[in-house]
Chains A and B, each alone.
With several copies, the nearest count.
Chain A
Amino acid sequence: MKLNLDQAVINRCRQAAGHIAGDVDQFIRQRTTVSLERAVLRLMGINDAMDDVPVANLFVETIQAGQGLGRGAAYWLANGCYQLKLTADEVAQRVVSGQLDLFQLPQADRATLNPTLEKLMQPTIEKIKDQHRFRKDKLSNLGMGPEPLLYVIVATGDIYQDVDQAVAAVAQGADIVAVIRTTGQSLLDYVPHGSTREGFGGTYATQENFRIMREALDEAGDKAGRYVMLVNYSSGLCMPEIAVLGALERLDMMLNDALYGILFRDINMQRTLIDQHFSRQIIGFAGAIINTGEDNYLTTADAVEEAHTVTASQFINEQLALLAGLEDRQIGLGHAFEIDPSMTDGLLLEIAQAQMARQLFPRAPLKYMPPTKHMTGDIFQGHLQNGLFNLTSVLTGQGVHLLGMVTEAIHTPYVQDRLLALQNARYVMNNARNLGEELSIRDDGKISARARDVLEKAAQMLETVAEIGLFAALERGMFADIERSRDGGKGLDGVVMKDVDYCNPFQELLTQQAGSSGGGNDEK
């Protein structure tokens, strides 16, 4: 099944998106954020907490209070270690307990500090590389299911209940498990610490929770004879930090999209675009996959009217991801099956959109979201909507397939909801496994016309955005029907201009690597 798309229009899209991403990149390069700096500290092993407050936060606050953040947290930590001949932890402890004022120390120059920086970075880099290697080995030994990969969420709010539900889902055929985050976490300007049992609508994303679930899934995967992927959110006010924790605990995919934070969490656009860039560099290095959030647009905007905004955003996200050094196969662009089910020939439009996305981003592990907005308390009807969604996904060869839940409009999924969802997908996808190869789409039909129309609109939109810039486009409410201002939203106070002698050896390393290899940390 192939759509006859006009390559010239596709080129226009990519060109405009490249332009947009380039502009953003210019802006980003000059700035850092509190979360980015905390991420750097975490990469240097500062992952403890004091009375439940992460040391990284306390450390960065101290530096920010002293106006030193523009030089980079790495600099201050390394300089402390160098000057006092202490370990990173020792320095951090003293700083946050008020015993040590870093600004009082002599300030070595960068060249002098490089060996110290090198030493501070090494363990984490090794750990991340180990995790990457482990995943690769597992994948080549155990393999994964056929695409579309079946992705389910767990969301009990309690990591131990989550584990039970996740393990059950693996036994029922899940390829990917995402632990949904509690409401509100995205607006926390720190990452909670330790294992947790008290989330609402999701479970706190913490390093320990990641570890607990990773262990459970590795075990369940071994039992099921395949590698099971773990997903969490590198999103919200702590994007880069969670990227680090994800890299350390071998998360395989991270929801990661500044636009989502801007539109749906009212996070300041400057802040989160800067955060996003570094988080993507880390995710790229860890060999994980990002999932972008375009699907969410269709929960507030209409899926028929605003489909082109999804496509346009995918092009932008692709270019931003490439600039952060991700490879195509790591860029899980999001889209969704969200057309009103009562629409005559609605399925034709869904097929058009899904197939178009497939062809526009042929190597991307497209993340395909199920119906959510038009799900109701009628679980029987919902099961069918999910069935047609599953059919569309296998027909158009999507990569990462989020399973729709019959109780979507009611509660976070029960154990049986996930079971039903997995059975649904297994049945429909198996029964129609090669249907896509059997069929071709008329060039003069409704499906083709729809794809052409959406693509052209996306091109026009991208060209407008390229002209006015992404920030202005967001101010005009061009995405998801939501308007956000450049200086509004949460977290702007965490943005800091980099000094000329800004120091961030990780970013340097990752930027360099990306320049040479195009992403990932290995030979492929």
Chain B
Amino acid sequence: MMRSNFVKAYGDALNDGAVQLSFTLPLSPGGMAKEAARHLAEKMGLDQPEVVHMVEAGTGFSFFIVYGFCRHQVDTSQLQATEVEIQEMSFNEINQYIQERIGRRLNVVAACTGTDAHTVGIDAIMNMKGYKGEYGLERYSWINAWNMGSQVPNTRLVAEAKKTQADALLVSQVVTQRDVHISNLSQLTELLEAEGMRQNVLLIVGGPRISHQLALELGYDAGFGPGTTPRQVASYIAREIYRRQQG
């Protein structure tokens, strides 16, 4: 039954369910391996799964490409977009907003924490000189911005937050192998809780594999993914701090 708010994948004809898969199995190529790949695809809900490509991927491993027609459908009426909701403002509007509604400069401390040394992302948000033609937070006259750089231990970040009476902490996490970002991000919330500071700061995380949803799950206020612009972040901070201030 396809109701109008149900959608399926689509290749050749609407709602045919066509999807492409690829994966490796720890089996040598052959009839059995192919059958295993087909089965796996069937378990994923594919009708008529077809293994269109099988090749040895090192001794004892095979790589597969599979096409098939996925039975599953998604009810779009049940979905909620899980990105941070932002009413974006312009550079000038943001400064004016802070000046008029909050009436003081906001203190924002940023760092790429743990052993992560990818600064390009957080610099894109922070740097004076800007990124892709948009100024970073350091340029905003109504924001005091500190960029602590990369490989900053959480303890140092918390100390800096305390020292600067930070309104918002911006944490960047790029390396995610074995969920290192998760343990690192969790450690920060624990430290802040332990210091009794958690309620006093807006806690924001960003990075290419970060979603707003993940951020919420980890006890952060917001998460920003790939393609984030400084204005989005600044708009969010200004509005959210004003909102909280209002009660």
Contact = CB atoms under 8 A, between A and B. Distances in A.
A and B touch in the complex (CB under 8 A): yes
Contacts of A164: 14, 58
Nearest to B63: A416
A419 B63 contact: yes
Contacts of B18: 414
A380 B55 CA distance: 12
A377 B59 contact: no
Contact of A419 (B50, B51, B55, B114): B55
B65 interface: yes
Contact of B24 (A409, A412, A415): A415
| Residue of A169, A378, A412, A415 contacting most chain B CB atoms (<10 Å) | A415
A265 B14 contact: no
A300 B11 contact: no
A294 interface: no
B115 A168 contact: no
Interface in A398-444: 407, 409-412, 414-416, 419
Question: Chain B binding site: helix, strand, loop or mixed by DSSP?
Answer: loop
A376 interface: yes
Nearest to B64: A416
Interface stretch (B170-178, B189-197, B216-224): B170-178
B103 to A, nearest CB: 35
A158 interface: yes
Nearest to B50: A410
Contact of A264 (B67, B117, B178): B117
Contacts of A299: 120
Contacts of B24: 414-416, 419
Interface string A157-192: 110010011011101100000000011100100000
B52 interface: yes
B12 A416 contact: no
B117 A156 contact: no
Interface string B59-89: 1010101010000000000000000000000
B6 interface: no
Question: Chain A binding site: helix, strand, loop or mixed by DSSP?
Answer: loop
Contact of B59 (A156, A168, A183, A414): A168
A341 to B, nearest CB: 15
Interface of A: 155-158, 161, 164-165, 167-169, 171-172, 182-184, 187, 200-201, 264-266, 299-300, 376-380, 407, 409-412, 414-416, 419
A375 B21 CA distance: 18
A415 B59 CA distance: 12
29 contacts: A156-B13, A164-B58, A168-B57, A171-B58, A171-B59, A172-B57, A183-B115, A184-B115, A200-B177, A200-B180, A201-B175, A266-B149, A300-B120, A376-B53, A377-B51, A377-B52, A377-B53, A377-B65, A378-B53, A407-B67, A411-B11, A411-B67, A412-B12, A412-B177, A414-B18, A415-B11, A415-B63, A416-B57, A419-B55
A415 B20 contact: no
Nearest to B18: A414
Nearest to A265: B117
B108 to A, nearest CB: 22
B56 A171 contact: yes
Given A169-B58, A187-B115, 17 more contacts: A156-B13, A157-B177, A165-B58, A182-B115, A183-B114, A183-B116, A201-B177, A300-B119, A377-B52, A377-B65, A378-B53, A411-B67, A411-B176, A414-B18, A416-B57, A419-B24, A419-B55
